[in-house]
Structure 1
Amino acid sequence: MTIDHDSLPRSGGPLPGPHRPATGLLDRPDGAVRARAVAPPRRHRRPVPSRYALPLTLLQVDAVALCTATAVANRAIDPATRLTPLLGVAAVLPLLLLLNLTGGLYRTRLTLSVLDELPALAVRAVVATAFAVTLAGCLDGRWPDCGPATPARLTVLLGAQLLIAALGRAVLYHLVRRIRRSRPNPVLVLGAGRLGRRVAAALDEHGEYGLRPVGFLDADPPLLPGDTDLPVLGGREALEREVRRHRVHHVIATAGAADEAETAATLREAARLGCQVWLVPALREYGSLPTAPIAGGDHLWGFPCLRVGAAAMRRPGWVGKRALDIFAASFGLLLLAPVLALCALAVRFDTGPGVLFRQQRTGLDGRVFTVLKFRTLRPSNEHESATRWNISQDHRMGAVGRVMRRSSLDELPQLWNVLRGDMSLVGPRPERPYFVMRFSQAYPEYADRHRVPVGLTGLAQVNGLRGDTSIEDRARFDNRYIESWSLWQDVKILCRTAALMLHPDGS
């Protein structure tokens, strides 16, 4: 992914051209300045602050549609065989809303269209209704059989629900477009090349998207003739300042560019700041990969847009990750207490006093904490402990230390770090500050690993990247884990870690 730059002379200032951004002063060749009339800025009403307003209203629309449809359908069913309205709604509503939620039907989108959503709404309504009919049969102790008119009755229910839901969404989307035109949200455009300028122009001309460009972010903007008044606000270093200054909730990244690492870092920083990030790819075919608009795909006046997922720690399941950490660490410390005691005795016999080894490691947001491990080798001094990379082949390590390192038993005291909140069960492995500094200078993506808490195990480790392996590969796997994080992925990594501990040779 790259910013849309062109092979033309470059400048770090505002975009050139006949419509240069108005500053109130005009430079003269002799170095003097003279006043210039500045056009009054366009006035906009305050943007709508809550990004949850539309999803919550859509949820209410679907709930009202189902309740109304159930009441309509029950009027056509014989009292002796029909589902009660209360039972029908209680059985269908939670499942229907959950299916719509997981299917992306409550996401805020750029292009609002009831017809785009209608097939997905219909499929999920059929599934929820089938579940309700099956549940009714189970409660009656027999398979549901309401006579030959059952298909017609279910058709009434489904048809009424879809019709009411579609009409409700159509009215709601009409109101949302009007609100967007009158209260646009400020947006930053990442990339001041041709594609970025076209996207900015489309947003400025079409208020139904509710996004008002306030400027470009580009560390090395091209010199392009054009008619835009938007300034280049700077590179990555200006992102946080401009987000807070303009209260930006959306960032649109236009692909095509020169420095992929800088672009990726800027997108990650925007997600960390809580912005919704949209990617406009240079090749329009990319826009057809997701099933728009349900699976994250959208379009902006013909430009395909891909929604970039929220930062991992801002996703709803992150609370479940911390709950899993607390439960598993507590249970593990209790269950493994005999193993911990045996390890401590073995270490005491092998290396003498000082069973636990304490070392400084870098965790979330670069904060330093003290990690606990069983001592497998007694370093000669603190400098060796902080700066020596690998001790697996050190001749000073005894048989107990080698067994514990090979089986990862020396890592078990870190369950206390997990319980304290210094670490998580799954995450990028923590490293010493000395090496974090060195690796961050050598590998641009290495520092991005600290966007989430570090972990006992991680995606890089279960893929064999531990010990003397590529740091660049580790950083790539760690960032991949963060960007695709889910609670189920944590469970998979824990299962693979347990298998590796039982079979260290990978069998």
Structure 2
Amino acid sequence: MLRFLRRQSVRWLMLLGFCELMLLAISLCAATYLRYFLNADELAEFTRHLPERAMVFASIIVIGMVAMGQYQAHIRMTRFGLLARQAVAFVLGGFLLVVGYYVVPQAYVGRGVLAIALTLGFLLVMTLRLLFLQLVEVEALKRRVLILGAGTRAAQIHNQMRRRTDRRGFCVVGYVPHASETVAVPQEQLIRSGLPLSAYVLREQIDEVVVGVDDRRGHLPMDDLLECRQMGIAITDLTSFFEREAGRLQLTILDPSWLVFSGGFNGTPLRQLSKRCFDLVAASMLLLLCWPLMLLEILAIRLESGPGQPILYRQERVGAHGCTFQLLKFRSMRTDAERDGVARWASKNDDRVTRVGRISRKLRVDELPQLWNVLKGDMSIVGPRPERPQFVADLTTQIRYYSLRHCLKPGLAGWAQLSYPYGATVEEAAEKLKYDLFYVKNHNLLLDLLILIQTVEVVLFGRGAR
């Protein structure tokens, strides 16, 4: 069910999250004793239900850190950048706690305790993260991976997963070339031991063999691979390896048979029911939280454009199974933005965008009316973003498997929006499709929740907005 949990990097991050949860809970307990140790009566009062209060405090701060992308496996950032995001996460978590204490006064821990706990927790988490960043780079703790093949397909790992953040869960020992393929990886990474594959795997303590030969028909050492399996070595197809480690489907090595036999694409009635319930609950909660912001947006559009100008913008988009629907947005462009009737992608610093629209697009406020589309059932909270029919018609002819993204309802937020910036070309659309297909294939309730929480980071930092 939770296929993305198979990734080594995700398991490392789950361990990190659990350790940070415990440290934050300890921070509140320590803060309570530090604040009231001179007053026995107050100490007795505030230590009642202390474990429960500590876990609530820790959980809210961790949610804030998830929202700021602190648990993303492939995040690329300086240590100062990570520190800044952690600070924003603690501010966000502190704000949520203050609101929570106002709604549920029984959970209140005192301003002094909260301030001490936030400070202490920030320092402890920062220290743990610095140690964690050192620990995950230790080669001895990574899975040792051997690539069977050294041609065009196998070279995808060398070319597409070169960053240190891409290889936090594994290290590539080398590439075993096959006689029938042209070598496409650097010579220094080739393995020419002369030993049988199973013997080399045993000698080098390989944990996983990734099969990436260019032509598998009749060219695989099946006896050696079977012996490796019997020794407990994982044998993984190259496409599955990319899916697990990179969180995307690599289109250049994708074939229909793998899509048919690899699993995923959960469309059972139970999954459809859980997704619909999640959509209704999340959309209703977001409407209750965001209606003041929506009223401010309406007022701002009216003040800038004057009476008689439309507030909402309706546009035809492609939904599930290719059916079209009318998508709602707050108008962020001039009313004559497409007076010639030709559909255009938004460009950077697009002069068609109004002054109010520039701000609302940056903060994603213009997307809020789509909550009505979610309630109607045209859209989901999480899914591939809906595109215009003109774009879909063009992209379907130019990008293989593009139509697969329409097997689910389009979403207000998506895995591609977290993983890739705004796309305004065919090449960028193809890159985003890799992440859309990963979501379509692996979607589940927990992944939806994680994407929704992490979308807060996209909104606050304006990633991908145009």
TM-score category, normalised to shorter length: 0.3 to 0.5
Identify the structure with the greater helix proportion.
2
Structure number with greater Rg is: 1
Please give the TM-score of this superposition, normalised by the length of structure 2: 0.42
